[in-house]
Structure 1
Amino acid sequence: MKEMVLASRNKHKLEEIGDILKEFNINIKSLDEVGLGNLEVVEDGETFEENSMKKAVEVMSRINAVVIADDSGLEVDALDNRPGVYSARFAGENATDEDNNKKLIEMLEDEENRKARFVSVISVAFPDGRKFHVRGECVGEIGYEKRGKSGFGYDPLFIVDGYDKTFAELGSDIKNKISHRANALVKLREKLAELL
């Protein structure tokens, strides 16, 4: 296997996954590079596992190549693990990061339990029918106000266990070593080492 396709147009994800899998000498291509730049897979699953596998299988069925897809988001204990798969559209269909953060702060206003985790599920689908997924988590809690300038999404509110800083204060170098996606990518590398 010389190449894989990432079911994403996100250049940052492409670099991150490419970097982690470089030991396998695999060329990672984006949807744009395989002519599927306009493909929109409806993420209607109830779990990160369902959504990421749906993306992987749908893209794989169109191009007959090994496909990697991920789905990720934030789970907050006091909100019964919401926003979960709705993390990007927590405050509505066209919500901005600002809208989502504001809603989260409001919903947790009188809440003492602020435990939360970022989750990343990466699925892989092979043309021969094999498929698997791995799950990575990063545990922390939700702050009372936004702090920090780097990152995106809920990063300014998420205070990582073991650090007294939000993801947005830690910066991408540290975040990329300890994040939910970093943890999932380590498991992905281990699983691919078994299969390849």
Structure 2
Amino acid sequence: MSRKFSDGRLVIASHNSGKVREIGELLAPFGVEVVSAGALGLDEPEETGTTFVANAELKAHAAAKAANLPALADDSGLAVDCLGGDPGIYSARWAGPGKDFAAAMALVNDRMGDSPDRRGRFVCALALAWPDGVCETFEGVVEGEMVWPPRGAQGFGYDPMFQPQGHTVTFGEMEPAKKHEMSHRADAFHKLVAACFQR
């Protein structure tokens, strides 16, 4: 049985404004006030985990402890089949210190070379931690394929090169509301909400 969230305020353990906005929109129906780790001046812990779940837990525990509030962390990324699952947990690092995702997408495409296998997926792990150490984790996935050149200016990160299964547009071309309905983050969120939130 998962612990229910009953506090009014929740720290989003991220300094990524796109991610904070997306999570805030998904939690809006529950009347939860969200505040980002960046706005609270919290440090970003070093992500030493070897899986999305481990890194999400690490970030959620660090923020919950530092803010003395429940904290929700997400660790997500792109896993490309012909690259053995890379960039995976290193998805943000491939963009470098300047968070240059145009360069990161070019790197993915270069590494893929002429591979006929363009399959990949976005994976999202969510961890909801309380200051007392309790933590609930959920994982979501959306399957698709890599396209080149990138298309669209919506979304963020690798969205312009990812075309979800059964669609003819990339996440970069898709209306944000449509993406929210079917993304890896939405998949993980449905599981989180079902387990821990009540309308």
TM-score (norm 2): 0.87
Is 2:174 the counterpart of 1:187?
no
Residue 27 to residue 143, structure 1, CA distance change in 2 (3 Å): same
Question: 1:86: Cα distance to partner?
Answer: 0.8
- Determine helix, strand or coil for the equivalent of 1:65: coil
Query: Higher relative contact order at CA 8 Å, sep ≥6: structure 1 or structure 2?
Result: 2
Mean Cα displacement is larger for which, 107-116 or 6-15? 6-15
Unaligned runs of 5+ in 2: 1-6
* Match runs of 1:53-72 below 5 Å: 53-72=57-76
* Match runs of 1:38-53 below 5 Å: 38-53=42-57
Is 2:105 the counterpart of 1:101?
yes
* Match runs of 1:1-196 below 5 Å: 1-33=7-39, 35=40, 37-90=41-94, 92-94=96-98, 96-193=100-197
For the residues of structure 2 that align with 1:16 and 1:114, how far apart are their CA atoms? 27
**Which residue of structure 1 aligns with residue 3 of structure 2?**
none
- Determine helix, strand or coil for the equivalent of 1:170: coil
1:102-142 per-position Cα deviation (integer Å, ceiling 9, x unaligned): 11111112101111000111101112331111111111011
For the residues of structure 1 that align with 2:155 and 2:28, how far apart are their CA atoms? 24
Question: 1:23: Cα distance to partner?
Answer: 4.5
RMSD of aligned residue pairs (Cα, Å): 2.1
CA contact (8 A) 2:61 2:133 kept: no
Mean Cα displacement is larger for which, 133-142 or 146-155? 146-155
Question: 1:25: Cα distance to partner?
Answer: 3.3
For the residues of structure 2 that align with 1:127 and 1:118, how far apart are their CA atoms? 29
Question: 1:38: Cα distance to partner?
Answer: 4.7
1:45-79 per-position Cα deviation (integer Å, ceiling 9, x unaligned): 21111111111111111222111111111001111
For the residues of structure 2 that align with 1:91 and 1:31, how far apart are their CA atoms? 21
Q: Which amino acid aligns with 1:106?
A: D
TM-score (norm 1): 0.88
